[in-house]
Amino acid sequence: MAKPSLPNEFNDLEPFAGWALPTERERNHKRINSQMSEIQALYDTMVPRMGAIMEYLNKLPIDGMPEDAQRLFHMTLSLAEVAPAVEFYQQPRVIDGFPAERFIPIDVPDMTPT
Amino acid sequence: MALITEDKHWAAQYPELGTDPIPIEPCLSPEYHERERERIYRRVWLNVGREDELPRGGDFFVKDIAAVNSSILIVRGKDGVIRGFHNACTHRGNKVTRESRGNRNGFVCGFHGWAFGLKGDLINVTDEEQFFGLDKSSCGLTPVATDVWEGFIFINVDPKPEQTLTEFLGDWGKALSGYTFGSMVMRDRYETEVNVNWKVALDAFQEAWHARFVHKRSGGEAYASKDNPYIHVLQFKLYPLHRMMSVPGNAEFVPTPIQICAHQFGKSYISRDGSGEGLPPGVNPTRNPVWMFDSNYIFPNFSIFVFDGMFFTYHFWPLTADRTLWETRTYYPPAENAGQRFSQEYAKCALRDTWLEDLSTLEDIQVAISSRSVKHFMLQDQEILVRHSHKVIADFVGDE
């Protein structure tokens, strides 16, 4: 299996590269099927690095990042995904929540004006 | 700034609404639901989206609306005008498009190849010489009244609407005009089908009090404060059909580490930018510095939640008397960098989880009222929007 790579400065985050998932459904699926210890580890590792990560990513074009930066960006979106699990619920799923599987994301159309 | 804390003063301002419990039967009865469809949904303006979903000439989307038994095709012409049609071939009624959205120069029915232009005109009939005196000019797609307010596209399936869209939105529309809806783009969108009457679903969002309880883990503390533990609102305003409330935040709320990140890098949903300088008079009407958002309820089934710098909408579409399609759409200024997109993603995930909390009550409520173990909804003063909503609906539905 080809090892996913992150920008050099963020090599230490490699153990969490499995969270570099491009869609909300994939990130939410991984969250609700992970152990809380795995979620907490991602959170604890990523939060202190967020300043440096965004300083790096904000210099890149938002829709044309190199692949390694894109992966790092997707990991930050996974951090956004797991944040409620850590900060609100202390468990992967919403406590007493409606099933996430029934709450369906719909593709947002391209609304670029011409 | 002090909040209005006088007890039960809203009912006194709107005495015509009374203070009695309200009946559950309208949330159960298939017969009542039929009358809602005929006397409300087939007669009033319904929001189906925003014009920025159709940036180019030839862009279209389809909205199937069970409550009016119709598939509605919304198209932007090459002339820039947005038009609505029944998505039904005038030959024998097949849909002229099966796609939910796209870009076309026209629509060709897959049944026998009748072709229509973007203005609905019938352009081509195959094997035309076999018809009997066919007048193509009278066989265009059936138009649906369509108009746009502040970028929001509304349709009305009544062939002769009793009111224009501007008349229908009335003073509520005037109060909101000028908010920067057009500077924001749709960032995310969700749909869910819930086994609940559409009014029960709508009512879950027509008061702020529940946030202290339903959202006690996810955000209640951002609203409930020591001074205002049950989130009494800054203002309710009732219009003949529509209604709004202005909701305060907790000035002493301490954001979580990720919320601090999100506010640092961009715009999230509970960042507090101040008192809303530059907002139109109808947004944050009390100009209170603890203001968090206004929620607006446009009769019958559309809501716009307006924050300083973002907004989201809800649609509650009745499918049957006890089944509802609920849609959410969230809008932000376009993200210009990764940090801003992260902030919006956090808001999306946190809001989504908050909505899963809201949704958790709905099917249980429908079961409880179906059993008739709960015979009325008991409403207090801070639930006056629920009372108003049921009254407006009942006035339209009338008696048998």
3-state helix, strand, coil in chain A (%, to 5): 60, 0, 40
Across the interface, do A65 and B193 touch by the CB < 8 Å criterion?
no
Q: Report the pLDDT value the prediction gives residue A11, as an integer from 0 to 100.
A: 94
Residues of A with CB below 8 A from B356's CB?
94, 97-100, 103
Of all residues in chain B, what percent carry a pLDDT higher than 90? 90
Across the interface, do B357 and A97 touch by the CB < 8 Å criterion?
yes
Across the interface, do B357 and A24 touch by the CB < 8 Å criterion?
no
The pLDDT tens digits for B118-147 are: 999 999 999 999 999 999 999 999 999 999
d(CA A79, CA B324): 32
Residue A98 lies in a domain: no
Cβ partners under 8 Å of residue B361, min gap 6 = B204, B214
Q: Report the pLDDT value the prediction gives residue A1, as an integer from 0 to 100.
A: 43
Residues of A with CB below 8 A from B53's CB?
109, 111
Compare CB distances from B349 to A84, A106, A111 and report the shortest one's residue: A84
Task: State the DSSP code for A18.
Answer: G
The pLDDT tens digits for A30-63 are: 999 999 999 999 999 999 999 999 999 999 999 8
Residue A56 lies in a domain: yes
Residue in B196, B197, B188, B228 with CA at minimum distance from that of residue B212: B228
d(CA B23, CA B17): 14
Our measurement of the distance from residue B197's CA atom to the centroid of its chain's CA atoms, rounded to an integer in Å, reads: 16
d(CA A74, CA A4): 13
The pLDDT tens digits for B171-181 are: 999 999 999 99
Q: Report the pLDDT value the prediction gives residue B312, as an integer from 0 to 100.
A: 97
User: Is the pLDDT assigned to residue A13 strictly greater than 50?
Assistant: yes
The two beta strands, B185-194 and A104-105, are antiparallel
Residue in B231, B243, B204 with CA at minimum distance from that of residue B290: B231
Residue A35 lies in a domain: yes
User: Residue B6: is it exposed, middle or buried by C-beta count within 10 angstroms (0-12/13-18/19+)?
Assistant: exposed
Domain count along chain A:
1
- Tell me the residue length of chain B: 400
d(CA B73, CA B48): 10
The pLDDT tens digits for B33-85 are: 999 999 999 999 999 999 999 999 999 999 999 999 999 999 999 999 999 99
Residue A38 lies in a domain: yes
Residue A76 lies in a domain: yes
Note the ipTM here: 0.95
Q: What domains lie within chain B, and their CATH numbers?
A: 10-37+172-397 (3.90.380.10), 46-162 (2.102.10.10)
The pLDDT tens digits for A46-105 are: 999 999 999 999 999 998 999 999 999 999 999 999 999 999 999 999 999 999 999 999
Q: Report the pLDDT value the prediction gives residue B308, as an integer from 0 to 100.
A: 86
Residue in B80, B50, B47 with CA at minimum distance from that of residue B155: B47
Cβ partners under 8 Å of residue A84, min gap 6 = A94, B218, B349, B350, B353
Q: Report the pLDDT value the prediction gives residue B268, as an integer from 0 to 100.
A: 73
Q: Report the pLDDT value the prediction gives residue B279, as an integer from 0 to 100.
A: 85
Cβ partners under 8 Å of residue B144, min gap 6 = B70, B72, B84, B85, B86, B155, B156, B157
Q: Place A109 in a pLDDT band, splitting at 50, 70 and 90.
A: confident
User: Is the pLDDT assigned to residue B277 strictly greater than 70?
Assistant: no
Compare CB distances from A111 to B55, B337, B356 and report the shortest one's residue: B55
Residue A107 lies in a domain: no
| Whole-number CA gyration radius for chain A | 15
Shortest Cα–Cα distance, B316 to chain A (Å): 14
d(CA B299, CA B136): 38
Compare CB distances from B186 to A77, A96, A111 and report the shortest one's residue: A111
Residue A103 lies in a domain: no
A65 is in which domain, residue-wise? 22-90
